[in-house]
Amino acid sequence: MKRKIISISISILLIVAAVFIYMRYYYVFAEGTKAGVLNTFQKKGYVFKTWEGIIIQSGFKVNVQSNEFYFSVTNEEIAKKLERVSGQEVNLHYKRYFGTLPWRGMSVYVVDSIYEIRTSDSKTSISSQ
């Protein structure tokens, strides 16, 4: 009887841990788009080298809140495109997770596609992918 209670308790704990890990690191909490000027884009990290970027969002903010959007990129093809367009206006699609994983990046926002890249002369160089 005691062994049955222990095995049921362990099973419940494992299920709760699996649900917690899934919700924390793999469940997509939100999806959306962000647009602004790509300020910084770099590959960095100690063990896991990940692509990290910052977008400066346009508009004037009266309060102290930052209008910078920090994000990570896991797709190498998207990273190469963004690496070449620093300083240009971009429109990106992202997924937001509750937690970060070292191999996914340092941000809870992970960019998964580029909607648009506008050059300084207002022409679109890349559109919806």
- HSE of 84 in the Cβ direction (CA atoms, 13 Å)? 10
Domains of the chain (ranges, CATH numbers): 28-127 (2.40.50.140)
CA nearest neighbour of 85 among 113, 125, 58: 125
Whether 8 shows a pLDDT value over 80: the answer reads: yes
Q: Helices H, strands E: what count in the chain?
A: 2, 6
DSSP 8-state assignment for residue 77: H
Whether 121 shows a pLDDT value over 70: the answer reads: no
Token digits of residue 58: 């346009």
Confidence of residue 122 (pLDDT cuts 50, 70, 90): low
- From the number of C-beta atoms within 10 Å of its C-beta (0-12, 13-18, 19+), residue 30 rates as exposed
Arithmetic mean of pLDDT, 48-55? 95
